[in-house]
Structure 1
Amino acid sequence: MKLLRCRRSFSTSASLGKEIAKNLKGKSTSSQGWIQRQLRDPYVEKARQENYRCRSAYKLLEIDEKFKILKPGQCVVDIGAAPGSWTQVAVKRTNADEKIPGKPRGFVVALDRLNIFPIDGAALVTCDFTRPDAEKRLVDLLNGRPVDVVLSDMAPNATGVKSMDHDRIVALALKAFKFGLQISAEGATVLMKLWEGRSCKAVETELSKFYDVVRWIKPKSSRSDSTETFILGRGFKKSNVV
């Protein structure tokens, strides 16, 4: 995801209008739409003020506030992590950066095919998760430590064909899910992003075989016009893995 770096003022609509006009100059229609949406999005400004790399941090923060999936001392794997906002949240909530006195230190691994600028407290892996060697690299880095939370914010580049895009993100989510079955501790959690579509029910059915509780979540911080949704599995039943 691109990061939009600019000075902003919300004091008057005129100042916002001038800034939009300045940033739209010479841009394509699609780029203009993206810039206008970013400039008007309060979560983009909030992320800048609170030093998160992009607005998606608030989706995980909102989910964690409600369901308490991240705790100090946990081992977390964040798949499709770039630019690293979910990893930033995971590091803070698990105390992987050792900034919560008296609490156990967590361990966070973040993976993406794009380079991620270093995050204090996180181990970063640059590789394509769809390639055969990616899972081995993650397993080697974990060094036998069972994972408490598997996060996947992976998404393919959208083609604009909804059925095709849906099938592609489902394939990514299922790959993350199946990998999580190999590395997760008893009682672990999985949280994955999907786009709404025909295969969502099948994904829910598959997760239900291995998790005590499965539910769909649409955070308020998700854009209202977005089809993204998140599936949460809690209470991993390791004995059900053959």
Structure 2
Amino acid sequence: MWLSAVHKRCLHTSLRLLKKSPKTLKGRTTTAQHWLFRQLNDPFVKASHDLNYRCRSAFKLLEIDDRFDILRPGYSVVDCGAAPGAWSQVAVERVNSNGKNTDLPCGTVIGIDLLNIASLDGAHFLSSHDITDPVTHARILELLPNKQAHVILSDMAPNASGFKEMDHEKLITMCFTLLDLAERVLQPEGTLVCKYWDGIFAPKLQEKLSDVFSGVRVLKPKACRKDSAELFFLARMYKKPAK
């Protein structure tokens, strides 16, 4: 199973102890009630609080890493769309970038977002930075040991417009920009994980990823909501273009 024993116990406890309070729903709009009801009954929300992760999305990366072993002590990781920092928290733990385990190599975690990201021990955050900006690329290279990353992570997404097809296309476009970043910073045989929303442009992205990575998988971690179009591409063994 993808969850560690600690995570499993936390989720089982959350399901057993989580209470629904009608008082918290009183006076709220139908949409707000639906959101709150879903949050109150979501074991990953409770587990993220219990384990001090900044949001439930941490469990998506935990599952991916537990299954495919993409984050190892000593690795350098670039986390795109990092706010509020949950994926960076996972990366810090797995690559030992805070140096807590003195018996293991110490890695590097760099998080980038247009939004502000609260500081985190073991991570370098570039808040108010555009991942498509060459200036941001240059700053990332300055922070990376040997100017190369082992892994690029992306949980970024555009602000939702309410039009699924438009939002899907925007996110796919954002994912394509990661290939420019990979060409600048990802080492040969490196790994890319990127979130996308399923739709008509997803095959085009998968085809492009397959051109520059030896293996591409489609993943839907258990922490993704069942009614969500959210999926992830796991692209491995980067074939870095010759300069």
Residue identity opposite 1:28 in structure 2: T
Aligned pairs for 1:154-193 within 5 A: 154-193=156-195
Offset at 1:114? 1.4
1:76 corresponds to: 77
- CA change 1:114–1:22 in 2 (3 A) is farther
Q: State the shift of 1:141 in Å.
A: 3.0
After TM superposition, give the deviation of residue 137 of structure 1 in Å: 3.0
1:59 corresponds to: 60
SS in structure 2 of the partner of residue 209 of structure 1: helix
Q: Which runs of 5+ in 2 are unaligned?
A: 1-12
1:25 deviates by: 3.3
Inter-partner Cα distance in structure 1 for 2:207 and 2:15: 45
The equivalent of 1:16 in structure 2 is 19
Alpha-carbon distance change, 75 to 10 in structure 1, aligned in 2, over 3 angstroms: closer
Structure 1 distance, partners of 2:75, 2:65, is 14
- Structure 1 residue 39 and structure 2 residue 35: aligned? no
SS at the partner of 2:142?
Answer: helix
Partner SS, residue 19 of structure 2: helix
Gaps of 5+ in 1: 1-7
Q: Distance in 1 between matches of 2:198 and 2:96?
A: 33
1:130-149 pair list within 5 angstroms: 132=133, 133-142=135-144, 144-149=146-151
Q: Which stretch of structure 1 is more off in the superposition, 88-97 or 140-149? A: 140-149
- Say if 1:212 and 1:235, in contact at 8 Å, map to a contact too: yes
8 A contact 1:177–1:190 mirrored in 2: no
Tell me, what secondary structure is at the counterpart of 1:16?
coil
Correspondences of 1:178-217 after superposition (within 5 Å): 178-217=180-219
Compute the displacement of 1:73 (Å): 0.3
Change (3 A) 1:9 1:96: closer
Name 2:155's counterpart in structure 1.
Answer: 153
Work out whether residues 78 and 150 of structure 1, in 8 Å CA contact, stay in contact via their aligned partners in 2. Answer: yes
Query: CA contact under 8 A between 2:15 and 2:43: conserved in structure 1?
Result: no
Query: Could you say if the C-alpha distance between residues 11 and 196 of structure 1 is closer, same or farther in structure 2, counting changes exceeding 3 Å?
Result: closer
Q: Which amino acid aligns with 2:68?
A: F
Calculate the TM-score normalised by the size of structure 2. Answer: 0.88
Residue aligning to 1:99: 100
User: Residue in 2 aligned with 1:50?
Assistant: 51
Aligned residues: 230
> 1:11 Cα shift?
5.5
Q: Secondary structure at the match of 2:190?
A: strand
TM-score of the pair, normalised by structure 1: 0.89
Deviations 1:51-76 (A, max 9, x none): 11111000000000110000000000
- What secondary structure is seen at the aligned counterpart in 2 of 1:173? helix
Instruction: Give secondary structure in 1 for the equivalent of 2:223.
Output: coil
Amino acid at match of 1:220: K
